[in-house]
A = this chain, B = another copy of it.
Amino acid sequence: MSDGIRVTVWNEGIHEKQLKRCQETYPNGMGKAIGEYLEKQPGIGSVHYSELDSPEQGLADDVLNGTDVMTWWGHTAHDKVTDENAARVQKRVLEGMGLIVLHSGHMSKPFRRLMGTGCFLKWREHGDNGEKERLWVADPSHPIMNGIPEYIELPNTEMYGEPFGIPQPDQLVFISWFQGGEVFRSGCCWHREAGKVFYFRPGHETFPIYYNEHVRRVIYNAVLWAAPTRLAGGFTQGNVQPLEKME
């Protein structure tokens, strides 16, 4: 990775065209809000922006093959992503690409395929201002926690609550508290064959969460963590000769 990690920010890009409040909060789009911080960080080689409206839904072979870590934000059009493209993202993760799934991306096709579960959850939008969330650090030794205080407080959020239909995380790094009475596993790490997946709950199409310095730092840390190990070899079904003599 001598030239830095190649990041692709995948953004559904629909709320930006339809919701006035989204436009006000994210005048350059949510993708740019996520990527502009990454662009300036050490170790990042490049940030590419893809949207559902991009050619081949922003998931063409040359995009995927040129991506070390992809961030994924989608909400209202999960079904529009073709099964073929979802399968290709899944395949690339299994081959080593990191995947950072944000907020409502829990219902995206690539994430659900990689988890093997329904990924359902409870949710609530409360009035115009949502409600308070506090993300508590559950594993301070994890590299994604680098530079993060013992909790991140977000004053205005949409609630997500347990039960969250995911496999037990390999490492659980954040647990959220919500004003309305719920909890949520809001930072979850999984290894999947040669790749890594991080689910990070914060985000919303109208709340300015992707400008929060701690949220941005977590996403950046997660990109560093999810960058491919670049192991020689991969996973294949193969018929092999014995390594030992067998009479």
Contacts and interface: CB of A to CB of B under 8 A. Distances in A.
> How many protomers of this protein does the assembly include?
4
A219 interface: no
Contacts of A216: none
A36 interface: no
Contacts of A241: 124
Interface residues of A, number: 76
Contacts of A191: 139, 141-142, 167-168, 171
Interface string A27-69: 0000000000000000000000000000000000000000000
Contacts of A113: 116
A120 B236 contact: yes
Interface in A162-219: 162-163, 165, 167-168, 170-172, 175-183, 185, 190-196
Interface stretch (A8-16, A18-26, A225-233): A225-233
A45 to B, nearest CB: 17
Nearest to A165: B235
A88 interface: no
Interface in A120-176: 120-124, 126, 131, 134, 136-143, 145-150, 159, 161-163, 165, 167-168, 170-172, 175-176
A162 B175 contact: yes
Nearest to A195: B141
A41 to B, nearest CB: 15
Interface of A: 90, 94, 96, 107, 113-118, 120-124, 126, 131, 134, 136-143, 145-150, 159, 161-163, 165, 167-168, 170-172, 175-183, 185, 190-196, 229-244, 246
11 contacts: A114-B117, A117-B235, A122-B240, A123-B239, A140-B193, A141-B196, A148-B231, A150-B162, A150-B232, A167-B192, A181-B244
Given A134-B181, A136-B183, A140-B229, 19 more contacts: A90-B116, A94-B165, A116-B167, A117-B235, A118-B237, A120-B235, A120-B236, A124-B241, A136-B163, A138-B162, A138-B185, A140-B163, A141-B192, A141-B229, A163-B235, A168-B172, A177-B182, A180-B246, A181-B242
